[in-house]
Amino acid sequence: MASLGDSDSVYSSVKDYYGKVLESTKDLKTSACTAGSAPHPIVRQIIGKVPQAVVGRFFGCGNPIPLGIEGKDVLDLGSGSGRDCYVAAALVGREGSVTGVDMTDEQLAIARENVDEFGKILGYAPKLRFVTGYIEKLEEAGVESESVDICISNCVINLSPNKRQVLEGVYGSLRTGGELYFSDMYADRKLPESVRSNEVLRGEGMGGALFVRDFEQMAVDIGFARPRVLAVGRIAVHDPELQQMVGDANFYSITYRLFKVQESSADNGPFAAEYLGTIEGHKDKYELDVDHVFETGTPMRVDLGTAAILSSSWLARYFAVKPQANNSLKPAAQITPTETLLDRADQVATSGCGAAEQASTSCCAS
């Protein structure tokens, strides 16, 4: 897929927008960086401990930070002021590590200068670092091959002029069983050049939004398992001039999960998966995606792809997966096409749900 314009001009435009134009979320012209459901209470509690200088320059569009990541090595693409890195550092604990990669000097300065203060709050010095670099060139930024368990990103990959290069770099940096767990902006159609090249829409992420179908195919072609959707929310364009420019195109914040596992086995199933209830904050149930919600201690029939994720990824220690000896369980859930989820998000957006609720596809649903 072609790059978004000239790479140098895109980098320059994004650096200027996030380093100099935006001082806080109040300066945004769309809901792109404020859409999303409320964070998990554990995450909210940690955010409350993050220095305000870091939180005040946060421009994410979701909550792409999984729980249960103690001791893991985490990479944040386009870490900005570092809010998500600070949260992840608290979640991985003393034994884990977090690396944030960003190209914007102003944002990196804020992220770096508050690490010591946060360490005093945690009671230990976190293994938290911020490096200057491009998310398309992770090795040049010092991220080694197969050194990462979980890669997170919050409303950043869409800013890249070469998204395939980003995904290929992430795939190479992940250990087998690793995951790219991220929120980003997508469109329900291919965008015209007038939208793709507009500096404000580009800066807010919408100009670089991929058509969901194109993105999902790209991910599979690179080697990831079939993308899983955790949350979808409609993005509103507040500025009348920009509304006219985007026309009939609709934009969404989507939290995706891309696993580096092989969806193949000598045993084609069926399989039964049981959540053990051992992730802090998810005692009673665990939501893998919008179609797979596991209640603790209750076996659930799953297909080969889901069984591979639950038995071969970093989640394996939290699940018991085995071939199903009989057909006593109800049929495995089918993965809902993402475009169907977008339609549901449209219905939610027009039904009176608040912006914070729109990311949940079940909001206001009957």
In the numeric block, which tokens belong to residue 262? 């092989």
Q: Is the pLDDT of residue 222 over 60?
A: yes
Residue 358 is predicted with a pLDDT of 44
Asked which of 85-89, 150-154, 328-332 is least confident by mean pLDDT, the reply is 328-332
Q: What is the mean pLDDT of residues 334-362?
A: 73
How would you class 284 by CB atoms within 10 Å of its CB: exposed for 0-12, middle for 13-18, buried for 19 or more? exposed
- DSSP output for 302-328: E-HHHHHHHHHSTTGGGEEEEE-SSS-
Compute the distance between CA of residue 227 and CA of residue 261 in angstroms, rounded to an integer. 12
Query: Which among 50, 68, 64 has a CA at the least distance from the CA of 359?
Result: 64
pLDDT tens-digit readout, 25-61: 455 555 454 445 678 999 999 999 999 999 998 877 6
How would you class 260 by CB atoms within 10 Å of its CB: exposed for 0-12, middle for 13-18, buried for 19 or more? buried
Residue 327 is predicted with a pLDDT of 75
Residue 309 is predicted with a pLDDT of 97
State which amino acid sits at residue 298.
T
Residue 298 is predicted with a pLDDT of 96
Q: What is the mean pLDDT of residues 286-310?
A: 96
Please list the alpha-helical segments (H only) found in the chain. Answer: 7-16, 41-47, 52-55, 83-92, 105-113, 115-122, 163-173, 193-196, 199-203, 212-222, 240-246, 304-312, 338-349
Q: Is the pLDDT of residue 6 over 80?
A: no
State which amino acid sits at residue 181.
Y
Q: What is the mean pLDDT of residues 256-271?
A: 83
Q: How confident is the model at residue 2 (pLDDT cuts 50, 70, 90)?
A: very low
The better pLDDT of the pair 13, 157 is held by 157
Query: Which among 168, 150, 169, 166 has a CA at the least distance from the CA of 158?
Result: 166
Please tell me which of 6-15, 17-26, 197-206, 215-224 the model is most confident about, judged by mean pLDDT.
Answer: 215-224
Q: Is the pLDDT of residue 18 over 60?
A: no
- DSSP output for 52-63: HHHHTT---SS-
Asked which of 98-112, 153-167, 249-263, 345-359 is least confident by mean pLDDT, the reply is 345-359
Coil, helix or strand for 363?
coil
pLDDT tens-digit readout, 129-147: 999 999 999 999 999 999 9
Q: Is the pLDDT of residue 155 over 80?
A: yes
The chain-wide mean pLDDT, for the chain, equals 87
Q: How confident is the model at residue 197 (pLDDT cuts 50, 70, 90)?
A: confident
Q: How confident is the model at residue 12 (pLDDT cuts 50, 70, 90)?
A: low
**Share of residues in the chain with pLDDT > 90 (%):** 68
Q: How confident is the model at residue 328 (pLDDT cuts 50, 70, 90)?
A: confident
Ramachandran area for residue 27 (φ above 0: left; ψ -120 to 50: alpha; else beta)? alpha
Q: What is the mean pLDDT of residues 292-298?
A: 97
The reply to whether the predicted model has a pTM over 0.75 is yes
In the numeric block, which tokens belong to residue 333? 């859930």
Write the CB contacts of 182 (distance below 8 Å, at least 6 apart in sequence). Answer: 62, 64, 77, 151, 152, 153, 154, 157, 255, 256, 258
Q: How confident is the model at residue 10 (pLDDT cuts 50, 70, 90)?
A: low
Q: What is the mean pLDDT of residues 211-230?
A: 97
